Amino acid sequence: MKKIDKLLLTSSLGPFAVAFFIAVFVLVIQIMWLYIDEIAGKGVSIFIMLELVGYMSFSVFPMALPIAVLIASVMVMGGLAERYELSSMKSAGIPLIRVMRAMIVLAAAISVFSYVCSDFLIPIANLKFKSRLFDIRKQKPALTIEEGIFNGDFRQFVIRIGDKDPDGETIGEVMIEDQSNLGQVKFSQILADSGQMYTTSDKRFFVMNLFHGTQYQEPGNQGPSSTQRRYPFIRTNFRSWSKVWDMREFEMVRTDEDRFSTQRTMLSMNQLRQNVDSLHAKIDETGQLAVSDMLISIKRQPIPPPKPPAESQPITSSPKPAVKPSKKLGNKLSTIGPKAQVASGNQDPNRGSNSGPNLPVQELRKPLNQYSSIIETFRERDQSSLLKEAKTRNGLSKNVVETRKNQVNSRRLEWAKTGYELYNKYSFALICFIFLFIGAPMGAIIRKGGFGYPILVSITFFVTFVFLAILCRKLSESYLMTPFWAAMTPCAILALIGVYVTRKAMNDSQLFSTDSLERFLFRLRLARKQKIALDSP
């Protein structure tokens, strides 16, 4: 390994590690604030909390790695430029890309690591985190009996204490309402002057011993209403009364993780790709079903053709010639149902039972162009029933189309989200490599090391990337962009910015040159002076 590569590599590892852990810490704290209300007060052990933090740390790796690469590259190249070491290398004939070779190899390795995390580690970490968080949400709050507050944590019991000594066990003015036998007892309440509460040494049971109290009970009505008996109100005095509650209902029960394994964030790239293909096939299938359902709801069974007469049967009369409808009327009739009998208004006895009524068309008494609507071609006594049937079929068709449309829209939205989740994994791996060609040239241009300017520059570009990613995701969910281009557009835009700043740093030029603007203003002032000189006598 060349000395220059060793120098750049050792100089990059330290800032990268520091920036990475700072980014992970900030992102984990941001996520913890979203769930702190659901975790606080549940009596969650420190080991469960550390488990949740560990799972969250793995899940934010794709977000932390790009910003760490960006900060480290700006810090290293800015420090070299600030100490004029970069200028010395360039004066010795070493180009900027050769100086960055060790950092390029490191950024490529980080991109591969980000890809591996997105494909293997993060789905498992998200699954574990989701299942543990669900367990904590289901868990009851930790048992805390405070003074003057009604506590209903125990199932079918409400407890209230008037005062509690500093030892946490001696209590006074205790009230317990028992709701466990509401079918047999209308009212059951216990009042005691003092008592003692504690948890057994194995933390399995909660015990409450009460002294000098009274129990009040009102039995309920039992038996049939015709033979109801009235029971007296019961009051029982006691010197000592004990009640034991099982504490297992406050323990956290772990949920089966398979119930969350089908969510998008818990799937690997191969599984996401399979879901995208299956959703695309389901969208096409739902569209075909919509067309089929609509045709079924409006389609009629055609009238079978009349049977030809037998050869041995003499023909006594010739059939009455039918009025041949025009092509325009024939097209209209074909949209309503089967071919109608023109000459005869009687229904065909050979028509199927499930085919619906025939369309009785009266003999045309006047030219077709004199009818105002197609309904007038039918008999007057059948027009109302035909209109009613048409309205019914129209309503059914609308309901079928609306239902299938909602199914297509929901599956299409799921397809867009799943596709974006798939290609977003590639995007986060690629941006780690792109950020190197933004951070290193920016460090060479600003010539500042440390955590001041580098962090400011890094946050600016990282926020730009996040903004573009959110914007493109919304465009993908609105079907204005495909999931692939929605995920890759931020990388493409930042890649162009990287090419621009890298060229500026290699040529030792300013990031934004004002020479063209100054030349334009100078020409404008010169032209104004010449005009004044020509106008003056």
pLDDT by residue (tens digit) across 326-383? 444 444 434 444 333 333 334 444 344 344 445 555 566 667 777 777 777 777 777 7
How far CA 71 is from CA of 153, 236, 275, in Å, comes to 50, 75, 36
CA 286 to chain centre: 22
pLDDT by residue (tens digit) across 467-477? 999 999 999 98
pLDDT by residue (tens digit) across 23-62? 999 988 888 887 776 676 556 677 888 888 888 888 899 8
Is residue 92 scored above 70 in pLDDT?
yes
- CB atoms under 10 Å from CB of 56, counted, come to 21
Above pLDDT 90, what percent of the chain? 16
Q: How far apart are CA 35 and CA 135, in angstroms?
A: 13
Torsion angle, alpha carbons of 61, 484, 262, 465, to 10:
30
Q: How far apart are CA 401 and CA 314, in angstroms?
A: 53
Structure tokens at 432: 């780690």
DSSP string across 66-105: HHHHHHHHHHHHHHHHHTTHHHHHHHTT--HHHHTHHHHH
Is residue 324 scored above 70 in pLDDT?
no
Helices and strands in the chain: count of H runs, count of E runs: 13, 5
> The whole model's pTM is what?
0.63
Burial track 426-437 (b if 16+ CB lie within 10 A, e otherwise): bbbbbbbbbbbb
Q: How far apart are CA 487 and CA 472, in angstroms?
A: 7
On average, the pLDDT of the chain sits at 77
Q: Which amino acid is at 487?
A: A
CB of 34 closer than 8 Å to CB of 66: no
DSSP string across 458-510: HHHHHHHHHHHHHHHHHHHHTTSS-HHHHHHHHHHHHHHHHHHHHHHHHTT--
Mean pLDDT throughout 6-26?
89
The CA angle 433-436-438, to the nearest 5 degrees, is: 120
Is residue 19 scored above 80 in pLDDT?
yes
Burial track 324-350 (b if 16+ CB lie within 10 A, e otherwise): ebeeebeeebeebbbebbbeebeeeee
3-state secondary structure of 340: coil
Quote helix, strand, coil % in the chain, to nearest 5.
Answer: 60, 10, 30
pLDDT at 382: 78
Is residue 435 scored above 90 in pLDDT?
yes
Give the containing element (helix H, strand E) for 160: strand 157-164
Mean pLDDT throughout 485-514?
85
Q: How far apart are CA 18 and CA 55, in angstroms?
A: 20
Is residue 110 scored above 90 in pLDDT?
yes
Burial class of residue 216 (count of CB atoms within 10 Å of its CB; 0-12, 13-18, 19+): middle
69 falls in which pLDDT band (50, 70, 90)? Answer: very high
Q: How far apart are CA 289 and CA 294, in angstroms?
A: 8
Is residue 507 scored above 70 in pLDDT?
yes
Q: How far apart are CA 60 and CA 43, in angstroms?
A: 26
How far CA 74 is from CA of 111, 201, 315, 320, 454, in Å, comes to 18, 58, 104, 97, 5
CB of 250 closer than 8 Å to CB of 138: no
- Which residue, 56, 58, 68, 66, is CA-closest to 28? 56
Instruction: Say which residue the tokens 């204490």 belong to.
Output: 161
How far CA 186 is from CA of 178, 216, 218, 223, in Å, comes to 10, 11, 5, 15
Interacting residues of 264 by C-beta distance below 8 A, sequence separation 6+:
272, 275, 417, 418, 421
pLDDT at 475: 93
Interacting residues of 351 by C-beta distance below 8 A, sequence separation 6+:
301, 303, 304, 358
pLDDT at 257: 53
Mean pLDDT throughout 512-532?
73
3-state secondary structure of 157: strand
Domain boundaries, the chain: 3-139+421-506, 157-250
Is residue 455 scored above 80 in pLDDT?
yes
Give the CA radius of gyration of the chain: 41
Q: What sign does the CA torsion over 310, 312, 313, 314 have?
A: positive
